[in-house]
């Protein structure tokens, strides 16, 4: 089949390369010339094991081609971003432009598959409506389907193939055709439903995790009221066979968990009460981090804070919606200077420091990402470079005993015993 993939980001690129590897003729389209040039020269970022070799190999084979314009195809797969706007509504402009770009190429019998995370009824209302505007019947002339991804950065190739997949069709025929295409590389079970249910399922999966994390974060806040260590309480509670509380932290980041609940809230604001409350709890956590640090230092004014970790999760370089960014913003608004070290982040939009430089003259250390590398930091050497000896670990990645023995005033976020 001829497949045109619109958007060569972290999902579109591996999807296109995998389909080409399975024998399809794939045209990858992206409006960014920089993205296209980077793909041609290096394939993909090294953080995704095996992806660069796969992409470069399929480009060399000729089964995978690149363009800044969509090409005629049997199947169009839309993998474009849907960021959240300041008013907490989904920005659908990228998806709308993507669909609009393929309308002149559509012919009867073509299929459009939307992979972008979207509010419920996007396929049936927005995409189908745009198809109707050019005189085609979205239920008979064109097949429309929604097929969301469930992958995490750093393991995309494996999870795209092995995880179960949900596919929702505007019609049963559309769902069946989409399932047939994805069956060429998905070894997990492919579950078929209608497009709106599939859109809702994608949002529910990430909203569930947001609610669970919010519960853990509220327990962390309560730990100061009751004088307990929240981590001890969670570990003991999780010994119950039907309890699985996640771990608290400085907030929720990433392109999914911190964003997707708003897509449901926007569509049903009066009904989605728990989702709204979870969002409030999780977005308050950076303020609790700053308050805890202020309690340790007495004042934040003119203090230099070394921040270890900018990425939203451990061992990746992705900073989207990272709570560390909000922690930085609050600290600087209170008169502190932040020096950030993250061995995984390549471009943050501001100056990043090597570890030794970040520690020079530091009044306090704040761990906001649980990178494995941080476990190997020598606390004695760090204390020699620092001006103060306060450290707050919001991810519990460091060994408190080792750091305390080296002379640090060490605290974990959510340890009310202190």
List pLDDT tens digits, range 246-274.
999 999 998 889 999 999 999 999 999 99
Helix axes 12-21, 51-61, angle to 10 degrees: 50
Compute the average pLDDT of residues 102-117.
Answer: 97
Q: Determine the pLDDT at residue 18.
A: 97
Active-site position among 256, 313, 319, 338: 256
Res. 47: pLDDT tops 90: no
Does the domain at residues 285-412 carry the CATH identifier 3.40.50.720?
Answer: yes
Instruction: Write out pLDDT tens, residues 183-228.
Output: 999 999 999 999 999 999 999 999 999 999 999 999 999 999 999 9
Instruction: Write out pLDDT tens, residues 362-416.
Output: 999 999 999 999 999 999 999 999 999 999 999 999 999 999 999 999 999 999 9
Res. 298: pLDDT tops 70: yes
Instruction: Write out pLDDT tens, residues 277-296.
Output: 999 999 999 999 999 999 99
Contact 127, 144 (CB under 8 A): yes
Q: Got the DSSP string for 84-153?
A: BPTTS-B--HHHHHHHHHHGGG--TT-EEEE-S---TTIIIIIIHHHHHHTT--TTTTSEEEE------T
Q: Is residue 202 flagged as an active site residue?
A: yes
- Tell me the pLDDT of the chain averaged across its residues: 96
Band the pLDDT of 418: cuts 50, 70, 90: low
Contact 297, 303 (CB under 8 A): yes
Res. 174: pLDDT tops 90: yes
Supply the pTM of this predicted model: 0.91
Q: Is residue 291 flagged as an active site residue?
A: no
End-to-end CA distance of the chain: 63
CATH class of 2-188: alpha beta
Instruction: Write out pLDDT tens, residues 235-244.
Output: 999 999 999 9
Active-site position among 179, 202, 303, 313: 202
Q: How many CB atoms lie within 10 A of CB 249?
A: 25
Q: Determine the pLDDT at residue 45.
A: 81
Q: How many CB atoms lie within 10 A of CB 164?
A: 11
User: Which ranges in the chain are annotated with CATH 3.40.50.720?
Assistant: 2-188, 285-412
């Amino acid at each position: 089949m001829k497949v045109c993939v619109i958007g060569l980001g972290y999902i579109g690129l591996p999807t296109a390369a995998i389909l080409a590897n399975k024998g399809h003729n794939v045209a990858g389209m992206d409006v960014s010339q920089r993205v296209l040039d980077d793909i041609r020269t290096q394939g993909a970022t090294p953080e995704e094991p095996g992806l660069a070799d796969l992409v470069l190999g399929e480009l060399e084979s000729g089964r995978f081609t690149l363009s800044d314009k969509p090409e005629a195809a049997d199947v169009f797969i839309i993998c474009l971003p849907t960021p959240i706007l300041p008013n907490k509504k989904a920005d659908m402009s990228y998806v709308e432009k993507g669909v609009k770009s393929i309308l002149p190429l559509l012919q009867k019998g073509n299929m459009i598959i939307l992979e972008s995370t979207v509010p419920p009824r996007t396929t049936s209302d927005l995409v189908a409506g745009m198809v109707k505007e050019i005189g085609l019947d979205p239920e008979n002339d064109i097949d429309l389907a929604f097929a969301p991804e469930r992958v995490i950065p750093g393991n995309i190739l494996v999870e795209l193939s092995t995880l179960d997949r949900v596919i929702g069709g505007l019609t049963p025929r559309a769902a069946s055709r989409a399932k047939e295409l994805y069956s060429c590389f998905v070894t997990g079970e492919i579950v078929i439903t209608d497009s709106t249910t599939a859109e809702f399922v994608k949002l529910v999966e990430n909203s569930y995790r947001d609610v669970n994390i919010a519960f853990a974060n509220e327990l962390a806040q309560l730990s100061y009221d009751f004088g307990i260590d929240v981590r001890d309480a969670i570990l003991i509670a999780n010994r119950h066979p039907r309890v699985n509380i996640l771990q608290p932290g400085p907030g929720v980041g990433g392109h999914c968990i911190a964003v997707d609940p708003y897509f449901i809230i926007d569509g049903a604001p009066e009904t989605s009460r728990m989702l709204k409350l979870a969002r409030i709890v999780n977005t308050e956590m950076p303020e609790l981090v700053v308050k805890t640090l202020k309690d340790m230092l007495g004042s934040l004014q003119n203090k230099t804070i070394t921040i270890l970790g900018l990425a939203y999760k451990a061992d990746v370089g992705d900073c989207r919606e990272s709570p560390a960014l909000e922690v930085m913003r609050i600290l600087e608004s209170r008169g502190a200077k932040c020096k950030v070290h993250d061995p995984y982040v390549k471009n943050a939009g501001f100056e990043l420091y090597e570890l030794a430089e970040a520690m020079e003259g530091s009044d306090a250390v704040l761990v906001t990402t649980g990178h494995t590398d941080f476990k190997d930091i020598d606390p004695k050497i760090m204390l020699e470079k620092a001006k103060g000896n306060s450290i707050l670990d919001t991810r519990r990645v460091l060994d408190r005993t080792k750091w305390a023995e080296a002379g640090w005033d060490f605290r974990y976020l959510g340890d009310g015993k202190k």
